[in-house]
Structure 1
Amino acid sequence: MTAGAIKAVLFDFGGVLAEEGFREGLMALAIEQGLDTGHIATQGMQAVYDSGFVLGKGTAAGFWALLRERTGLRGDDGLLSERILHGFVPRPWMLERVRQLRAQGVVTGILSDQTHWLDELDNRYHFSEAFDRIYNSYYLGKGKRDPGLFADVLADLNLPAAAVLFIDDDAGNVARAQAMGLQAIRYIDRQGFEAALEAILPD
């Protein structure tokens, strides 16, 4: 694999580097409690922004309170949070790809709409050692819904947009990155990702 024009690769966390613990965890809770799975997944994504939690302007308690109000979800904050954290299981093969890229001199980073939960997950799994940069919306005060976040990241990397590859499972995030000039891959499954990565960074 030769990096060529790509100087940095940025990975989303949930749904790319790890299993998607947030959405899947909420849907599992909905099934257990007899709630609508689609509704709770949608409301969860909205509440994490509306509560300010994902941008470091709110708390887990505020997020769970808002989600209970909007969906009827039940449960203790700590237990609910643990159910979400439990689902974010890192993908060893993906982390191996990260290490391969880094060994070639490519800058590797996480670019994730996350909270302090990402720190807790790193304490469990120690994945941060594979990355040069970690861009977490909780500390940046901006999420990937804001195109300005990509400009901020490019400025920090001191790289032109075309030299950065971004990988995310959310179509909207991929589209916003591409609109800012980044190269991007939408992660759907391993086979598709491997093929797309090979096309951009051939062996």
Structure 2
Amino acid sequence: MKFAHVLGSLVLASCFYLFVFEDSASAMMDTGSRGSEVEHMQRVLEKLEYFHTTPTGYYGSVTKEAVRDFQADFGLRADGVAGTNTLNMLSNLEMIAHVVHGESRGEIYEGKVAVASVILNRVQSSEFPGSTYGVIYQQNAFTALNDGQYWLTPDASSYRAAKDAYFGWDPSEGATYYYNPSGVSDEWIYSRDVIKTIGQHVYAR
């Protein structure tokens, strides 16, 4: 599974994303925690289909069980405590969901998973930065970062696409590039070997 290969390269997302802590000791939430960070985590878990009630901002037994289920699926220590590794994984999924929503929200679901897969394929490639954050924030890597669509709120299907890509579904068949031929501004992209087309996106390596 792809998440096993990228877990070691996870980084705490900065600025907009999920959780920003001054030190790793504070990067933890558990039963009794409350506040906006807990509520945000609950909303992300809800879109990932782990949290099945209204987010409250309180870390109770329902949240603990949702975190435990998430951890078990992603190969993390399933203790129900939202520590550094768990928060990093959630942050990575959230970043990918933002790219998916910004770049492919009009595409069929397979196309959304393919866009998420390209991000993960880049993380694993020596030709790109070795972390989700590094890949997504690499200069001019994704149009959505440049035109602001990255900052739109992702829908649940964008989170599911990120999750499915982490679990190994790669409709792009190993692609590290994709583009919409009608919006190409740099013809260099045409030098890449085309793998397939899904919807309006051409996938290449």
Shared fold per TM-score greater than 0.5 = no
More strand by share: 1
Q: Which structure is richer in relative contact order (CA contacts within 8 A, separation 6 or more)? A: 1
TM-score, structure 2 normalization: 0.27
More helix by share: 1
